[in-house]
């Protein structure tokens, strides 16, 4: 579904079936019933002109520390539910393989990555990564004990297809681990208020507008749990991860393409000063573990 299709047709909420309503900008729609949000933004993962815009080194530095800290937490939580000797784990959208590195101590890990360039870097470091999209890039009858979407499901336009494929690709006692941005989060709701005040950058940034793989969905724990239930998964754990770690914040801002260094510094200072306060507000990242019924 493209943006123009969304404007010309009524689009049903994938969670509850209600008709989505136009939101803050022309590509933003939301469900008044279950609070699901849709961004009609087009991924351009392997488009060369997009990659030329990015400084790959900044991309790696800007994300690595946060992702590794979160991966350590998530693997510990997963181990409470997934037992046995080296259960098979598939990390969809494995990127540079940081989650694979952490999970490999306890799981037999495989990555799946559609970005050719990123998959190539992971492979050069000896990681087991299949190139392509989930589930089409997998071998015929390959199944897993855990399928992980760590900051990934919100990038996949056709979620019902992805969840049906999860059911086919999971062993009977299999689990899905989701970790994604929370539409109930403090920062996202602040970005909406700022957008109304015509300060639009934070809203666009949180949807990753203009990046190779923008967000196309915004869920909260309640509506994603309902969607998963409809696809035959029951929730067995949920929680939040810290919204922002100070490490890497400046690099992330640099990666986001803000060229004005004074503005970059001011933004960084504002974020660093607000981090101690953030723990009093709803976090912007949640995780949830679901079991196949």
Any contact of residue 16 with Zn ion (CB under 5 A)? yes
Any contact of residue 228 with Zn ion (CB under 5 A)? no
For 6, the token pair is 């969304």
Any contact of residue 221 with Zn ion (CB under 5 A)? no
**DSSP label at residue 18:** P
Q: Which part of the chain contacts Zn ion (CB under 5 A), choosing from 28-36, 73-81, 93-101, 211-219?
A: 28-36
How many residues does this entry show for the chain? 293
Any contact of residue 71 with Zn ion (CB under 5 A)? no
**203 near 24, Cβ under 8 Å?**
yes
Q: How far apart are CA 22 and CA 7, in angstroms?
A: 8
Using CB under 5 A as the binding rule, the residues of this chain from 31 to 50 that contact Zn ion are 31, 33-34, 36
**192 near 28, Cβ under 8 Å?**
no
Spatial strand order in the sheet of 37-39: 21-22, 28-30, 37-39, 217-218
Question: Which of 13, 90, 118, 129 lies at the binding interface for Zn ion (CB under 5 A)?
Answer: 13
Any contact of residue 27 with Zn ion (CB under 5 A)? no
Question: Which of 15, 147, 224, 244 lies at the binding interface for Zn ion (CB under 5 A)?
Answer: 15
For 107, the token pair is 């799981």
Any contact of residue 227 with Zn ion (CB under 5 A)? no
Q: Which part of the chain contacts Zn ion (CB under 5 A), choosing from 15-23, 107-115, 136-144, 238-246?
A: 15-23
Helices (H), 30-158: 48-53, 56-79, 98-103, 116-124
Q: Which is nearer to Zn ion, 33 or 128 (CB)?
A: 33
Q: Which is nearer to Zn ion, 13 or 254 (CB)?
A: 13
SS (H, E, C) 31-46: CCCCCCEEECCCCCCC
Residues at the interface with Zn ion (CB under 5 A): 13, 15-16, 18, 31, 33-34, 36
């Amino acid at each position: 579904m493209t943006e123009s299709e969304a404007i010309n047709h009524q689009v049903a909420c994938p969670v509850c079936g209600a008709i989505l309503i136009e939101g803050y900008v022309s590509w933003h729609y939301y469900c008044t019933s279950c609070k699901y949000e849709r961004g009609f933004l087009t991924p351009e993962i392997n488009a060369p002109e997009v990659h030329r815009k990015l400084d790959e080194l900044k991309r790696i530095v800007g994300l690595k520390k946060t992702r590794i800290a979160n991966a350590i937490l998530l693997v510990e939580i997963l181990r409470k539910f997934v037992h046995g000797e080296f259960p098979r784990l598939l990390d969809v959208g494995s990127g540079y393989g940081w989650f694979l590195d952490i999970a490999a101590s306890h799981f037999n890990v495989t990555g799946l990555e559609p970005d050719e360039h990123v998959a190539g870097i992971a492979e050069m470091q000896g990681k087991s990564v299949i190139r392509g999209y989930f589930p089409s890039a997998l071998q015929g009858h390959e199944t897993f004990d855990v399928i992980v979407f760590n900051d990934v499901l919100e990038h996949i336009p056709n979620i019902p297809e992805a969840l049906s494929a999860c059911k086919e690709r999971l062993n009977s006692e299999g689990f899905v681990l989701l970790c994604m941005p929370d539409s109930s989060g403090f920062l996202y709701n602040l970005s909406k208020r700022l957008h109304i005040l015509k300060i639009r950058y934070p809203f666009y940034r949180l949807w990753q507008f203009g990046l190779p793989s923008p967000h196309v969905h915004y869920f909260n724990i309640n509506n994603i749990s309902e969607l998963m239930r409809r696809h035959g998964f029951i929730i067995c754990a949920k929680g939040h991860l810290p919204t922002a770690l100070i490490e890497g914040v400046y690099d992330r801002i640099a990666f986001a393409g803000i060229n004005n260094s004074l503005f970059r510094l001011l933004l960084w200072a504002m974020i660093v000063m607000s981090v101690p306060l953030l723990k009093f507000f709803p976090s912007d990242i949640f995780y949830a573990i679901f079991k196949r019924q």
